[in-house]
Chains A and B, each alone.
Chain A
Amino acid sequence: MDTILPILAGAIFASGIYLLLRKGLILTIIGIILISNSVNLALFSLGRISTENPPLIAAGSAIPEAPFANPLPQALILTAIVIGFGLLAFALAMAYRSYKELGTIDQDSLLEDAEDTSAAIINKTENKED
């Protein structure tokens, strides 16, 4: 496991980079998802995988029975997964929204500069109540 996991993480990271560089917005976001997962895998394998006692403290004692496994990497990964999940949900929602607004998911179209940016703002603020 100690050798397979890092290689797997690297392979997933590389595929993520490949997708990140593609034109389609959805492919880019999938690329980010892949990279996110590969980083989690890396975090997991860098925390040293071992088969020892679970880090649970038995009733009556103060420390778990040695040698016990390190629970910290899993806590970190859980946090990272939750954060990543929230951010990616937002990114997907925004991709959908921009598909509706801009009518395309081709990222080359995003390169064009928006025209005068002031118009969009002032019209909306004119009707501000006092």
Chain B
Amino acid sequence: MNSLLILPILIPLVTATLALLFRTSSHMQRLIGVAGMAALLVSVVFLFTDVYRDGIQVLQAGNWEAPFGITLVADMLTMLMLGISAIMGLIIAIYSIYDVDKEREQFGYYPLLHVLIMGVNGSFLTGDIFNLYVWFEVMLIASFILLALGNSKNQLQGALKYVIINLFSSLLFLFGVALLYGMTGTLNLADLAQRLPEVENTGLVTTVAMIFMVSFGIKAAIFPLFFWLPASYHTPPVAISAIFGGLLTKVGVYALIRVFTLLFTQDIGYTHTIMLWVAGFTMVTGVLGAASHYEFRKILSFHIVSQIGYMIMGLAFNTALGIMGAIFYVIHNILAKTNLFLISGIAQRLTGTFELKNMGGLYKHYPFLASLFLISAFALAGFPPLSGFWAKLSLVKAGLSLEMYIITGVAILVGLLTLFSMTKIWMTAFWAAVPEKGVPEHFGKMPLFGAGKLYIMVVPVMIVAGLIILVGLFAQPLLEVCMIAAEQLLNPSLYIEAVLGTK
């Protein structure tokens, strides 16, 4: 029993409530918003040391024993995801101070952001499949409102697609839960893991596995279920785009990793082969989609899809090295992707547009911003010594050790194509000459630091870029922690014992 486990859910809830109380004062809201995220980060660090020292931590709410009560479980994977979501939450909260306008603040931007983080954290922590559904819905309703907040035409267009496809995927998920309950009579993940191998109708178990794959696949935006993502993620303010692009799809990936290592390991030859194909197509279609677009955030949105493919590939390998690579990739990708979105926001502030063809001259006038972009873009493409290199290296190694040359080749090729898209942004937005008309008056005169308060947006980007370099230069500790996480995942008996007690 570790009652600290409730904190990553409780702190955002309290913060959201407090921020609601100070609805009218945007000054207080910002303060509470940032302080809440900082408190969350501190609590996650404490929890992390517990899990690192003593292994999987469990909280049985109200002392109701599993499998009857509500269980919260934190293993290494959970802690890594919680940690990265807390860091990103803090970064986004700071960035939003300048980026999010007063109208949105008054309509409850900060409370919603914290409810979103609460839903995300709840999904990571829960040890019960029905509660996972409930946390997904908490996360979804907050994301719906964040996406539609502001009511501009294109936001509504994007939000409608997002809302309907996500409602459908949640219902599929619930249907899968119903089938699982019908087969085993339990909803506790650990208990399910114990009872599923005993179910005689293995065909039905595989069917449920596929229902889960489709449902989580829609949320994670895998091929061929990703079309809603590039259609909606470029519409809201940048801070919201960034947290969506960085975190939300990764919750789907987390759910996939969780159920396909803990629950559905009966028919690996079938499910994981499908996943491998899906991974390959996701990587390729995402990167090709990015090649055909000329809007900064649309390119990034397609790259989210492409990068999800790598994570799914690591999961489909189903070896310690593969899953470690997938987890490391998730962390690296959240850093790099969020940072690129944040940079697109700064670029838009300076040039007044997201359209690449109307941009230019950023390198000449803002070389520091250009170098921040280069760091993130090269990390995304997988250049040494940045974080992406180690992520790709471990996945490629995992693929080669399984002698799966084709998919590994695809992964390397997609890395090159990623570089191509990033070069496209670099050539037009940063390197090209300043366009003759349509450039705002402040372009070139507005400094990144000092007057204009733009530094509120630049400092978070600097922090994340620093983290990317740090992860790249000192990758070993993080790789080791990811390895612990992967080994825990591949040995479900640890999870089952921690939750149900030794038998």
Contacts and interface: CB of A to CB of B under 8 A. Distances in A.
Contact of A28 (B102, B164, B295, B348): B164
B24 to A, nearest CB: 13
Contacts of B144: 87, 90, 94
A95 B354 contact: no
Interface string B147-184: 01011111111111101100110110011011101100
A39 B215 CA distance: 14
A39 B171 contact: yes
Nearest to A20: B168
B102 A129 contact: yes
A79 B137 CA distance: 11
Contacts of A98: 156-157, 160
Interface stretch (A50-58, A59-67, A116-124): A116-124
A1 interface: no
Interface in A90-115: 90-91, 94-95, 97-98, 101-102, 107, 110, 114-115
A-B pairs with the 10 shortest C-beta distances? A114-B154, A46-B182, A43-B178, A120-B152, A98-B156, A125-B101, A118-B354, A118-B353, A83-B137, A124-B101
Nearest to B173: A39
A11 B106 CA distance: 45
B153 A114 contact: yes
B145 interface: yes
A91 B152 contact: no
B289 interface: no
A69 interface: no
B352 interface: yes
A36 B156 contact: no
Interface residues of B, number: 51
Contact of A117 (B140, B154, B179, B181): B154
A120 B155 contact: yes
Interface in B116-155: 130, 133-134, 137, 140-141, 144-145, 148, 150-155
B212 to A, nearest CB: 14
B337 interface: no
B89 interface: no
A83 B132 CA distance: 13
Interface string B226-242: 00000000110110000
Contacts of A124: 101, 103, 150
A82 to B, nearest CB: 10
Contact of A95 (B158, B160, B161): B160
Interface in B240-287: none
A113 B151 CA distance: 16
B297 A117 contact: yes
Contacts of A42: 175, 178-179
A79 B174 CA distance: 11
